[in-house]
Structure 1
């Protein structure tokens, strides 16, 4: 029995290996799969047949010959199923349906003004139900839901602390599992943002990168040697709370002088309210207490000097924190995402000036700073990718 069990397990693992190879290298021939996996051609052919019967793989015709018969090329069927990815922001919910290759097919955004657990979770459930109804039919349907949350999340999907939402000990995964008969994955939004940019965006070709989610707060998803670094307790990446000034502004975490009190969207807006934003040339309809990032972006585009200077100051403080990260981790790439990336035109120069002045020269030489290729979709796409990868990884444990 043990030998039979071992053989069945090995077959599952090999099938997963073949499918994973097709997913990441299609179009591809059976012969090339054999070379990449080290499996013999007979085993590959048998497993490919099963994957075709399971709707994960299709044949798309003959490819170019390398000297012998033209090979039949295989394609991964991205539309065999769909995933839902959610970016649960401080003032918005961004949810999307992607196919199994990460292509967005449906998207929905909801603006939020009430951050109570009851209100947010109710709107989140309605949003997901709405997307499920609009998802195209497929052999496997919705295979899972991933959610990125701006806070500390444990391995059971509980939101332990989300200061900018005012949440503590919220069993979000359990709440969604009761609502949806689907696998649910909850993670920190900067972590899923890093995975989104790594898998589908600016970080596809690098092994060591840091994704900075700069919105109401600041968080980081850290990719080391192609894997997400989580730390011993799973809570790595809370870079917004590294101290830049011991006697600095009070932070929502209870400490003073945290990075996000100088360089986040929240800090930017707080400082903007002290500026005179209405003058003879530029009329701003919003009252001072309703100033938001969009207001400031609009003013900067119109050449409003105090706002442009304010963005430059924010860029400087972002550069200070990024310098610390560069000196510690020596990454190949820093990706700036979330809302502050919309201000790249006015923060980029001051970030680079600060980095060039203060980061260690050897660390800086091979490091680039870019802005999220996926734009505001990084975290939602990354959340969907977690659901997709868990779905395929589970194949190794499923019975035939």
Structure 2
């Protein structure tokens, strides 16, 4: 995303978001560096920085300088300057986290609801928001992001079967979430939210292009390039769990047979392991997952495949260990700087961090022309003229 300011007189709220987003992406950074990146004068940036400091969104410290004169201020986001809430709704229940501006989880709440009904869920989420609000010490609570199983708006696949939320069909999730909490609300598939969380705060921070394979109750994934999950034309890219892998295999709720997630997912483990035992399930699932990873590598040529999700860490570790050795693919090359497979560094928290990041990005990111004049709710408390 190209961040450039505007000299138009009604563009002041936009410029403030531009500067804030630049500090988020590139901090620690000096005022002159911000001005150069966004195309504004140093004085304009300095005035905006005063407002951001007053709001507590930005903090700075003097950098060491050997030459004469006052050393420049190096600016970063203040983690406690604002908060957002990330929510993950699954067929097993609700998880919610209060997340600070730096992406650190401050508090987590988990509610077992199997399966969660929309009315009950929104009521409980509203209650959790009030609990979290008390932990912010009066700081801004910017918004709430909710992650849930996809795909969305596909007649024969959405909200169908044990890996989705059947009672949520036709529910206006974002609108209901905003009504229940009084916050700006954002909704995304769980796999895309987890991929975003991993790119910002996990293993994906050190690679520019990776594929995130997400073990929810079902199985999904997302290719991430330069921190952005690739969502496809309709926003449903990554439903790898519904790729038919076993000819004439087990019937799937989507209407096909032999879909991958019927064999490799948390739902598959909970259904099969009590019958055949955990070691046998791993032996059954590993070859299919191995082939799926090779397919991902040949299709997307990622730097690495990151595996994570809500599956138990020990079980996921045993499954990943059983994948060795991987078959040949375009990723099987000399001189690799990253392994072909990596475990998630964010673990089960990736989806919560990613869901909260939806709210941070939705509220903080520049949206030129959408914030009329000085009526910008984000900066309503600023007293700087």
Q: TM-score, normalised by structure 1?
A: 0.81
> Against the structure 1 CA distance between its residues 364 and 116, is the aligned structure 2 distance closer, same or farther, given a 3 Å change threshold?
farther
Cα contact 2:98–2:105 (8 A) shared by 1: yes
Q: For each residue in 1:97-142, what CA deviation from the matched residue of structure 2 results, as whole angstroms up to 9, or x when unmatched?
A: 111221211210112223433444443333334333443311xx21
Question: How much does 1:22 deviate?
Answer: 2.0
Does 1:197 find its partner at 2:198? Answer: yes
Does 1:185 find its partner at 2:155? Answer: no
Question: How much does 1:86 deviate?
Answer: 0.5
Does 1:248 find its partner at 2:241? Answer: no
RMSD: 2.6
Distance 1:239 1:233 in 2: 15
Q: For each residue in 1:337-359, what CA deviation from the matched residue of structure 2 results, as whole angstroms up to 9, or x when unmatched?
A: 11336124312232232xx2243
Distance 1:218 1:372 in 2: 15
Does 1:260 find its partner at 2:261? Answer: yes
> Against the structure 1 CA distance between its residues 152 and 310, is the aligned structure 2 distance closer, same or farther, given a 3 Å change threshold?
closer
Distance 1:389 1:323 in 2: 33
- Residue of structure 1 equivalent to 2:305: 334
Question: How much does 1:59 deviate?
Answer: 3.7
Q: For each residue in 1:182-227, what CA deviation from the matched residue of structure 2 results, as whole angstroms up to 9, or x when unmatched?
A: 1110110101000000111110122222211113210112213432
Question: SS state of the match for residue 108, structure 2?
Answer: strand
> Against the structure 1 CA distance between its residues 345 and 130, is the aligned structure 2 distance closer, same or farther, given a 3 Å change threshold?
same
Aligned ranges 1:304-315 → 2 under 5 Å: 307-315=278-286
Q: For each residue in 1:328-382, what CA deviation from the matched residue of structure 2 results, as whole angstroms up to 9, or x when unmatched?
A: 01111211111336124312232232xx224345579746311221111111110
- Residue of structure 1 equivalent to 2:91: 90
Distance 2:220 2:311 in 1: 12
Question: How much does 1:317 deviate?
Answer: 2.1
Cα contact 1:93–1:109 (8 A) shared by 2: yes
Question: SS state of the match for residue 223, structure 2?
Answer: strand
Distance 1:365 1:187 in 2: 36
Greater percentage in helix: 1
Of 321, 332, 349, 1:349 maps to 321
Question: SS state of the match for residue 102, structure 1?
Answer: coil
Q: Which moved more, 1:69-78 or 1:256-265?
A: 69-78
- Residue of structure 2 equivalent to 1:172: 173
In structure 1, the gaps of 5 or more residues are: 276-305
Does 1:114 find its partner at 2:115? Answer: yes
> Against the structure 1 CA distance between its residues 220 and 245, is the aligned structure 2 distance closer, same or farther, given a 3 Å change threshold?
same
Question: How much does 1:235 deviate?
Answer: 1.3
> Against the structure 1 CA distance between its residues 146 and 49, is the aligned structure 2 distance closer, same or farther, given a 3 Å change threshold?
same
Does 1:383 find its partner at 2:381? Answer: no
Aligned ranges 1:1-400 → 2 under 5 Å: 7-60=8-61, 62-65=62-65, 67-69=67-69, 70-138=71-139, 141-153=140-152, 160-161=158-159, 163=161, 164=163, 165-167=165-167, 168-275=169-276, 307-340=278-311, 342=313, 343-353=315-325, 356-360=326-330, 362=332, 366=336, 368-393=340-365, 396=368, 397-398=370-371, 399-400=373-374
Cα contact 2:223–2:300 (8 A) shared by 1: no
In structure 2, the gaps of 5 or more residues are: 1-5, 375-385
Distance 1:11 1:130 in 2: 34
Question: SS state of the match for residue 204, structure 1?
Answer: helix
Question: SS state of the match for residue 245, structure 1?
Answer: coil
Q: Alignment length, in residue pairs?
A: 357
Cα contact 1:152–1:162 (8 A) shared by 2: no
Distance 2:351 2:210 in 1: 15
Question: SS state of the match for residue 203, structure 2?
Answer: coil
Q: Which moved more, 1:29-38 or 1:78-87?
A: 29-38
Query: Over alpha carbons, which structure has the higher Rg?
Result: 1
Question: SS state of the match for residue 323, structure 2?
Answer: helix
Cα contact 2:160–2:254 (8 A) shared by 1: no
> Against the structure 1 CA distance between its residues 190 and 56, is the aligned structure 2 distance closer, same or farther, given a 3 Å change threshold?
same
Distance 1:364 1:223 in 2: 23
